Each structure stands twice: as C-alpha cells, then as structure tokens.
Structure 1
C-alpha cells in the first residue's frame, strides 16, 4: 500500500512513521509513507495557502488551488484512482469496519486541514471520503491521519507477527476482546483462570466467547444491537443478564 499525507506540518509524522510497527511495515515493503507539504504547490510568490472566507466570519479558509494541484501531482501517471480522504469533524465516524475497507486499497491520500477548514470545492471535486475519528475538534487533521494510517497498516498481510491478532481484536469480531493473561500463572496471589491452564481447547474457546460477550455487555452494550448472535451466544447473554 502507498499512503500519501498532504499537510502543512510534515515534521509531525517523523516520529510516528519512523517508529514501532509502522517503521517495520515500511522497511519490509508492506507500505510506503510520504508526507507532502501542499504549501509548495501554492501558485502565489508568498506560498500562501489560505484566505478570508467569502461572506465574512472568523478565521481563515484553506484555498482550493494548492490542494487541487497537489492531489493532481500525486495522481499523475497513475493507472488507478486513489482514495482521497479528508480528515474533518463533519466526516463519517471512523470504525474498524472502515479500516478493513481501506486496507483493501492500493493507495490512500490524506488531506490534513487547519484553520476554519477547506474551500468547499475541495470537498466536492477532490475528496472521495470524509472521515472523523470522534466527536471533538482537533487543531488539524494530522493526528486523525496518523490514527487511520496505523489502524489500516496493521491489517495489511504480513505486517503483524501473528495474522490472527487483527482478526480477534476488539471491534473486528463485532465484540470487545476477551481478557488476556500471560505468565506467571500466580502473581501475588492473583491467579489466571483455571480454564486457560487446562489445555482443553474447546473449553478455552467457549470461555473466551463468553467473556467477550460479558465485556461487551458491560462496556459497550450498543455494539450488541449490531451483532448477529448465534443461538448459543443468545443463551450465554441471557444467563449474563440474569446474573446482573
């Protein structure tokens, strides 16, 4: 996958793309990251990328010209049409399902805005997706782009050491993930559940499914409204509700 970031602050991405999983994924050739300062595409001599809004109002608005030209340059010579993603608080709420969808793409371009937003013609003629990572406002789109780039990259084949990790993550299955334990089995009197030490695979699978349901019921019951329960899961859920 190829990920391009259009931003006024490319230095913000140095530590993120040069560390941990994203660094390893890039070194192994699973993904390539490029940051582009779209100020360099401004046609005026002062490299100005914003202006006052028509009709008045507070703040400045990012101009269409530098962004149109920057995206056109990134698309030049391509045989495919990349997804162009605008990070903004008005966008579709970002979810794991969206991450899985974007992970199927070969090329993503992120637009990171600042000030009072973009000229509307950027939205209507350049952008393919508008995404928001939550119902709050950030100074710019850079942090949102980092979040999405991370969540998409980890889904690419070969990036994670264990391919099953991404499949069983919270939200990937439709439920929150079950509790996890590691050695020692007894830490200061706090013991790992016996079932996980039993070596009985079927019982472990059953316990994990029950615990995932329980945790989702306790912490995110709204997710159960969208989750298709099996008959067995419905029975477990009924028992959990009775316990409450």
Structure 2
C-alpha cells in the first residue's frame, strides 16, 4: 500500500478547514461552473448528484456493491480540470476504508460495484476545502479516474489459471476455495473447531514460498484463516493435499506480515493428527 496518497487523507482535514470561518471562501458556484465547463469541453456524459458531485460510469462492475463504510482497493489518477496530474496510483492499487477519505470518494464510489471504473469530478467542499492543502490550491475541483479492484473475480481467475497450468484435479467450493486431495487419510475427520496438527508449505501462484513448517504445527481451526477452517476438514487424519485460497478467505486486501494485499495463497498440507 502506498504510504502517501493525496486522495486518501482523512476527513478530519475537511472538518477542520470548513470550521475556519475567517479564511474560508464559498467556492460552490465557481466550482459548479468549472465542472460544467470541463464536462462540456471534454464531451463527458456525467451524472450530477445533489451534493455537487459529478460522476461517470464506464464500467459498473460485477462485484460486491460498495457502501460508505466499505473497504475498497483502487487504482486512480488525480488531476485538476486543466489536466495537470497531482497524484497517481496506477502502478499499485491502494486499499482503505471509505469512512476515512474525502467526502467525494465516500459518496462517489458507492455508485460503482467492485470491478467498476469511471470518473469522479469533485468540488472543493467535498474534497480539501477552501484553503491550500499539501500542494493542492484551496477551492480546487479535483478529477479522479478510478478503477475499483474486484479481488474475488481476480483471485478466481488466478486460481483457475494456476489449476490449468499445473494440471491439477481440484474441487471448487461455494466460498471460492479450491482443494486437491492427494491422500484422503483414514483417521478422524476434523470439524471447524478441532485442534489439529499439520505440516505445510505456503506459496504464491508464482511459486514463491512465503512460509513453511520446520516441525509439526498445532492449532485450533477456529483460530486460523477461513481457508484453513473450511479446507482442512475436507481431509481425514493422515490425509494430504493442497488448498488454493483466495484473499477474502486469507488475509484480505491489506498487506499482512510480508504477504501483499489481495494475494492468492496456496498451501500443501499434511494433516497429522486431530484432537
């Protein structure tokens, strides 16, 4: 995740700037005219909202609906109406909760689903207000080209491609998990709250290993990632195989302990004991 993204500064700034009645200026009418000129000059089919925000949907997206409190992952370019770019995250998606960003993003992204793309045209009162802030002039209209990442769909495709490339006989579950049984095992079958002992190797779809047990590892299944909670009970004690786990059943959209956000995780496992 990028450490500094101008689009992601918390709403606290907006609150503080708008309370400064001495130096504040109302840019509402000026911004509205600037936005209308920008839309006309660029022949944009934009939708206006009652707040003063305008948005353009290029792709609605087929993923989950977005609410004002959703966690989202996006790629974006931020620019002024003259085309000058002030920020960009095209090289790497950024993840955040919508409650902690500017109001224009809070409202605007809710018109899309995950996997969607388009443009937000945001007046100053829904962005950084009337005062200069971190290089952005006070009263600025901000334009963002956005792409909202749908990790569920992306992970599914990654897993399917990996299965085909490696000629695996994998079973799909309704959750997005895939699993391969090499040995079913003849012992007890665990449930999601069982205390189990396993050996494992974890790696990404490119084969890079991120974790491996040097000795048998024991834990309660209800205390590990969802992909393990669901996947290990497909085996009996003594069984072995592979779990292919999408990020929503692992560590999610945020970087975690060296694992990049949105990563598909693959585990070769051997279920040693069930208690």
TM-score computed with the length of structure 1 as normaliser: 0.27
Higher helix share: 1
Which has the larger share of strand? 2
TM-score, structure 2 as length reference: 0.25
